[in-house]
Amino acid sequence: MIYVIKVTTNKEDRALEMIEEKANKKQLNVYSLARPHGLRGYIFLEADERETAEEAAYNLPYVKGIIGKTISYAEIKNMLEPTVAEINIEKGDIVEIISEPFKKEKAKVIRIDKQKEEAVVSLLGAAVPIPVTVKLDNLKVIRREKEESEDEASGEESGKREVAAGEAEEVPGLSPIDEEDINL
């Protein structure tokens, strides 16, 4: 069973270490301890009985108590298992930085590191191009390089045909002009 232990905010790591030491010292049946990233003020403790969990956390600094309700692994699975976010940023994209200190600055992606979830970008507004490393969460794609090249290619094909000197261009809805219609 998994028990939720309420601890002092920002002291989760220290409380976790003390509970671990006490459980090892007294040889308690504590199977696991977890401090999920982003969840402040709580630690998860897995033990076979409530008495074991209470004994592991009893009379320790930073520990405020055990919450009465037990929880299942399915309820906290999303907090404990890492999720892989789909990266939709490519090399050459024009992006906007959405976090400080370069908030609302436009940049071009030079390189992407998927393991670290970071991108190296070059600021477009800077006089001297300086590579800046930014987390992918802090980037918003504005324009794709591939879309631009596709637009240019289709624009050339559907563009107007140049008319050579002396050649008449037909306009839909108008009849062509004969030479005899022109009075000089």
Q: Do 67 and 103 lie in a common domain? A: no
The DSSP bridge partners found for residue 44 are: 4, 34
pLDDT at residue 99 in the model: 75
The string of DSSP codes covering 3-24 is: EEEEE-TT-HHHHHHHHHHHHH
The tokens describing 68, both together, are: 């009465």
Q: How many Cβ atoms sit within 10 Å of the Cβ of residue 148?
A: 12
Range of the domain at 14: 2-80
CA-wise closest residue to 90 among 153, 149, 130: 149
Q: What is the CATH number of the domain that holds 13?
A: 3.30.70.940
The tokens describing 30, both together, are: 């504590």
**Does residue 174 lie within any of the structural domains?**
no
Q: Using 50, 70 and 90 to split pLDDT, how confident is the model at 168?
A: low
Tens of pLDDT, residue by residue over 11-63, are 999 999 999 999 999 999 999 999 887 788 999 999 999 999 999 999 999 99
114 against 4, higher pLDDT: 4
d(C-alpha 53, C-alpha 51), whole Å:
5
Tens of pLDDT, residue by residue over 109-155, are 888 887 777 888 888 877 787 888 888 777 777 776 655 444 444 44
Q: Do 74 and 9 lie in a common domain? A: yes
If you average pLDDT over each of 41-45, 82-86, 90-94, 106-110, which comes out highest?
A: 41-45
Burial of 15 (0-12, 13-18, 19+ CB in 10 A): buried
